[in-house]
Structure 1
Amino acid sequence: MQDIPNSVIGAVSSVLGAYYYSHSRLNSLFMESGAPGDVPEGNCEDKCARWLKRCNDESDIDALAVLGHVIQSFMDDDNPNDERQRGQERIRTALARNQLAYHMNGVITLAGATPASKTLADFFKMGDFASIEMEFDRAISNVVSDPHAAITAASAIVEAFCKTYIEAHGLGMPAMQTIAPLWKVVQRALGLNPDRLLGDDENRILSGLTSIVDGIGTLRTHIGSAHGRGIAPPPIASSDAQLAVNAAHTLVTFAMERWHSKR
């Protein structure tokens, strides 16, 4: 198993240490990612560096796999703010200088290699419900420790489904590739718009799908982790974040079933 190069440790520690203002957030992030041992001492940057170096020292730890999980949430946002975009580029540059590359879902490979794990798009195309369940389980795991990140993950999964469906069917991609415009394209293609020929009950459910999308998108914009949270992020109860994740799960599962039942 390959060690994390020192220059990558330096870049990741500097970026994450500055971006995540909370020691408890970093502690949860590393522990959930499988980093070994007790919480290291030091400021946020030192803590990240010491934990990543410890991964290299443990022979039974896949250090690059831990690194991938640690930076996944930070790297996978496709609409980052300026600070996050600069951090993403710094990490990618450090990896490239060491012949490494980052891929979606926390996969780090040798530059030019194809990641062994499938992407979300692959799961959607195959109708792999079990793997999508795992993605939502990952979002749920953040509900208590970081509800803002859980909401961002829920929105990102819905957006990923919509983009995959649009690309797979050669549909026109909307100019604004955010959750609401993306869903409108998929909703029309799957026949999920309210219809006067349907009964009131069915129309209420179909209208509810749009409300779910609007609600998740609004939450992500206002209090999700994707656009930076500042020193005092807007508060949100873990129960509210869990509601958003569960609603996204219901929406995506239903839409996937409709897609694959038409094949």
Structure 2
Amino acid sequence: MNDRIGTLAAQQRRIEAKKAALIERARTLDAELNRAFDGADIAGVSSNVTLEQIGYDEYTYGYLCYRDGELTVGYRMTDDDVADAHHGVPDDQRSYSVRVLANCSPEWLERLLDEATLESLLGNIAARLCEREGRLDGSLSALQTILAAESAKLDGQMVERLEKTGDDTLQRLFDEAVDVAHLDAADGLTRSSRFLEAVCATILRERGTALPKDKSIVPLLDACVACLDWPDKVALTDAKQLFAGVKSIAGGIGTLRSHFGTAHGASSHLPSLDASWAMLAKNAAAAVAIFLLSRHRDGTDATPGNATVEDTP
């Protein structure tokens, strides 16, 4: 009798050891999922599996769930199915009870943590990620279409403005910036920066103003703004706030050119940029150039007494 009891006791200890091993496996899986997703809002469920057979046609079934950084079990019984069917509850609205893995029996854990169930959980997470990525791709595509249309509109305005100047050099420099923007981001940055520098230099020459010693974008822009005409001091004050942003844009283009462009010996160890950077630089350069040329060409009728940037302390 004692031998029999000892055998049963040993079996119970083995069961507890296996349960502890399964729970540890679940903790490891939970930790790996959390480490992989790093707090991201990721969720997934496995396929349903039979957790416990109660009678001939009675059993408990459920699934493994990963949500909010935790693995849990959703479960229900066939008796619940009968009751829901009687009350006309649709399948997709039937509720599951929730239990943490530590409170599950070894039999449940064996079925929930086997290879097929875990694979179905990871497959469901993958499907949800693919769906999310697909929605984002659709949104990005729509946004890209809108931005492309706006970029084309901006290019058209720039071409129209350049046609009024009759300056073939500026037209050629802008055409080059447009042509390479989609093909070579580094070269696109260089050509957009070169175009904006040329616009500022052209305005300075046409207004009889000496070019600054430093012929990079920001000094050229400062000198260009200083020689333009303004209708009154109120407009000038407002314009100075605007030019703080314009100078920031111009400076950003120059910095990108220095770091990533094909001029000035750009650092080869830096990562390459995609075409969107060149498009951003080209669009920014065009927007600034359109404004400067408009002030230069259309704002020259200002009366002699009007203020300039140099008049303001």
So what's the TM-score if we normalise by structure 1?
0.45
Q: Indicate the structure with greater strand content.
A: 2
Q: Tell which structure's C-alpha radius of gyration is larger.
A: 2
